Structure 1
Amino acid sequence: MDTTALRSAYEKFLEAAAAPDLGDAADGGWNADQVLAHVLSVDAATAAVALGVVSGSRPTFDNRPCLDSWNLDRVIGEHPGRAGLIAQARRQAAILCDIADQLTEQAAAVLVPSFLMSGDELVLDQPVSLADLVKGLAESHVPGHTQQLLDLRPTRGR
């Protein structure tokens, strides 16, 4: 698989995460650390699915643990501050991209039973190719969380 778009999305995400003036979400949503923990969790789950496909097992993808506040707090607690989360997010993204780079066309085409939630809303409950799971990160998931981080910056001139 070509991970050029995914790597680019992660660079933008990590740049946004490193902004020094990120505050709290106006709508009571996730703060920057929670966004980072969520992306770390999704990346690890996606890498596990990809390795499962390569190993011949029949993995599933379910993002509910990646949304769970207890899990996000656990991930945050395992890293020394925002810098530690960013460093781990960079490493995890590189691992995922390296795995995806090595997928054969056959492995990328494997259908993975997938269950995706966004907040309390069901987004997807059907098999998706491994390639589409990875492409979804590049096209929607990572850019969406990049925007979420950018929205945490204070507005100027108000």
Structure 2
Amino acid sequence: MDTTPLRHAHHALLEAAATVAGAGTADRPPSDGEWDAGQILAHVSLIDAATVAAVVSAASGAVTTYDNRVAQDAWTLGRVGALAGGEAGLRERVRLQGEALCALVAPLSEAELDTPVPTLLLSHGQVLVDRPMPLRDIVTGLAEAELPGHTKQLLALLP
């Protein structure tokens, strides 16, 4: 699988996060119901980790699922941020997870990429997906929608 879009999406997100940090607005309170930069990065870290787990499971022939609920839990986001050492640590974690994900996805066969993965995706408490999805669609969705959406969310924190 060509991982160029996934690499570019991670790079753009990390550039946006660095821009927000450089502007001193990383801790700026977001609009009601939105996340600050640390929460966004913690969410992306959890999504990357879940995607890595799904990819590794598919490559090993194990049964897997993909569920983003834990990546939206406020306590979990705070805990991940604290364990990573704050926003700078989260940026490094997301960078490394993006590299790992690209390295793991690149050699997968078409059959592995077509592996159906029971998927539950929520956003703001609303179900977006509740059905099996091919692993390739999960990875493509990360590159084409999830990461670009969070890149825009980060840039919206700028004054």
Q: Counterpart of 2:62 in 1: which secondary structure?
A: coil
* Partner deviation per Cα, 1:88-141 (whole Å, 9 max, x = no partner): 110011111111112111100111010000011100000100000000001100
2:43 is aligned with 1:38: yes
More deviation, 19-28/99-108: 19-28
Q: Write the distance in 2 (CA, Å) between the matches of 1:79 and 1:46.
A: 19
Shift of 1:42: 0.3
Give the equivalent residue in structure 2 for 1:106. Answer: 111
Equivalent runs, 1:36-115 vs 2, <5 Å: 36-115=41-120
Q: Write the distance in 2 (CA, Å) between the matches of 1:35 and 1:96.
A: 19
Q: Write the distance in 1 (CA, Å) between the matches of 2:109 and 2:98.
A: 19
Q: Write the distance in 2 (CA, Å) between the matches of 1:14 and 1:116.
A: 23
2:145 is aligned with 1:140: yes
Q: Counterpart of 2:84 in 1: which secondary structure?
A: coil
How many percent of aligned residue pairs carry the same amino acid?
Answer: 45
Unaligned runs of 5+ in 2: none
Q: Counterpart of 1:114 in 2: which secondary structure?
A: strand
Q: Post-superposition, which runs of at least 4 consecutive aligned residues in structure 1 deviate over 3 A? A: none
Letter in 2 for 1:8: H
* Partner deviation per Cα, 1:21-74 (whole Å, 9 max, x = no partner): 232212341000000000000000011011111111110100001111111111
Output the aligned Cα RMSD.
0.9
Q: Write the distance in 2 (CA, Å) between the matches of 1:61 and 1:18.
A: 29
Give the equivalent residue in structure 2 for 1:10. Answer: 10
Aligned residue-pair number: 154
Q: Write the distance in 2 (CA, Å) between the matches of 1:79 and 1:52.
A: 25
